[in-house]
Structure 1
Amino acid sequence: MAKSIENQSIHHDPSMEPMTHLDLNEQTPIRAIAKQVVERAEVALHHHPWGQMVFSDTGVVQVKTPQVAYLVPPQHAVWIPPGVAHDSSLLEKAEIFSVYMFQTNCYFHGETWRKEWGVCRCFQVSTLLSELVKRIATQTTEKIGEQTYSAMCTLISSEVRQAQKVALGLPMPEDKRLRHLCDLFLQSPLQTTTLSALAGQVGASESTVTRLFRQELQMTFRQWKHQALLSKAIDMAAMRVPTGIIAQELGYATHSAFSYMVTSLVGKPPKAFLYQDKNDDSTPKMNK
């Protein structure tokens, strides 16, 4: 079985320290920072008064809040609203982009924005959005020019608002029995694992666990299981494991069954969703 990224060592990179002080205001509502990471690196748990978008062109980004873990492939972003505690990691050698957004201005103000973007969410990063972020990250506002910078901020906010939402994120419960059950599944995530088998291991009835899933996580066990399997697939794809091997290790009898699961969740087949490294069009290969 392929070695999980979760079992790899984590490097504490001083350049990945949380950004707790930024000069964001009505005149400078967006700042973007690009960081090259040579090995897995993490940012400690923190929060700040502005919104943040995190993504990578070629690497897998992990963001955790106290309730949900998000694992997103290249060309997808995690949105973190103001005040939400979170930590983040880049799981491989790549470049990570952090975009910080001041929200009490014309770009990010209004009831619709608060309703739709007041919670964490994941979405696909368009080519235009990626290029806009890169320019703001690599050039000063003075060099860009005030008018161009203002227009770019408008475009960035528009691209974020219109971005295609993707169903990523694995919520974790607080109930001890349900948490134990979820942890057991994550130790060996297989699509063949049944709720009744897991319930028996934690000393609860299947009906009790079913009720707890709906009460605590607002989803069924099957829905949660598919989210967990997708997260594991993203983890393995970050190590360039081919989709056929991923399907086998997750317990799928056929590659088409695995492909159906991924496509039903994210709207794309596994190869198109999991491997979006624009600089590498080669077939994924197993690490040796």
Structure 2
Amino acid sequence: MERLAPGGEIEAHRHDDHQIVYAARGVLAISTTAGTWMAPGNRAIWVPAGTIHAHYAHGELELHLVGVPAHRNPLGLTDPTVLAVAPLLRELIMGYTAMPDDDRGAERARLHAVLLDRLRAAPHQPLHLPAPSSPLLRSVCDVLRTDPADGRTLDELGHQVGASSRTLSRLFRSDLGMTFPQWRTQLRLQVALVLLADGASVTTVARQCGWSSPSAFIDVFRRTFGHTPGAHALGS
């Protein structure tokens, strides 16, 4: 178990083994050249062996790490992936990481096996914000990163960067694998997690992230994370 202060980070690195990264407190962000994955307390992130990645802490982060040998890939995943963490899986992760690293006993091996078994059943969560490679698309995404509440249409944003909405819409699908509204919603949800971890109120988060009302924000947040932003703030 590791602790990171708010705003702390672990610089870009890689592991020879796969890794399950779980934050029992705070909100964890993992970044690669392909984008950013965010995990609140009821999510974990699977990081495949050899992936160069950095960790970022939003709020007081309590980090639990579980290694999986590179020759075993129970999930068959080749990219970082956010996974739902049910209460049983959470207790398995917490119990396993509480054991000494040098413990090679049968109990630890059994716990690891059960943990991987439950991990196979964990639903994948679409909490990845892909990073654009197209310069045009990068310009649009940078505008929205600077102000997630910017509610302009793709056509209006296109006028600013010198591209048609048709071109930008095509780039969102081909470069990022999602539509413009989907990407903007993902961005707003990630920013919302950070703001909540920093103690901002639901009303403040809704306003700063561009939702029309706190209730609209609460509805999207609940459908994405399975609980309200108020419950999330209490759990952090």
Tell me the TM-score normalized by structure 2. 0.90
Distance, in Å, in 2 between the alignment partners of 1:41 and 1:47 is: 18
- Say whether 1:270 aligns with 2:229: yes
Corresponding residue of 1:171: 130
The match for 2:217 among 258, 262, 282 is 258
Q: How does 1:1-288 map to 2 (within 5 A)?
A: 34-105=1-72, 108=73, 113-114=75-76, 117-140=77-100, 146-190=105-149, 192-273=151-232, 275-277=234-236
Q: Alpha-carbon deviation of 1:55? A: 1.7
Deviations 1:135-165 (A, max 9, x none): 332323676x732122101111012111132
Q: How many residues align?
A: 236
Corresponding residue of 1:281: none
Q: Alpha-carbon deviation of 1:181? A: 0.7
Distance, in Å, in 1 between the alignment partners of 2:129 and 2:121 is: 23
Q: Is the 8 A contact 2:28 2:61 kept in 1?
A: no
Deviations 1:219-240 (A, max 9, x none): 1100001001101100100112
Q: Is the 8 A contact 1:191 1:229 kept in 2?
A: no
Q: Is the 8 A contact 2:89 2:115 kept in 1?
A: yes
Instruction: Determine which structure has more spread, i.e. the larger CA radius of gyration.
Output: 1
Cα-Cα RMSD: 2.1
Distance, in Å, in 1 between the alignment partners of 2:91 and 2:226 is: 24
Q: Alpha-carbon deviation of 1:218? A: 1.2
Greater strand proportion: 2
Distance, in Å, in 2 between the alignment partners of 1:265 and 1:134 is: 24
Q: Is the 8 A contact 1:47 1:85 kept in 2?
A: yes
Deviations 1:49-75 (A, max 9, x none): 211111211111110010111222223
Tell me the TM-score normalized by structure 1. 0.75
Distance, in Å, in 1 between the alignment partners of 2:234 and 2:84 is: 13
Q: Alpha-carbon deviation of 1:195? A: 1.0
Distance, in Å, in 2 between the alignment partners of 1:194 and 1:75 is: 33
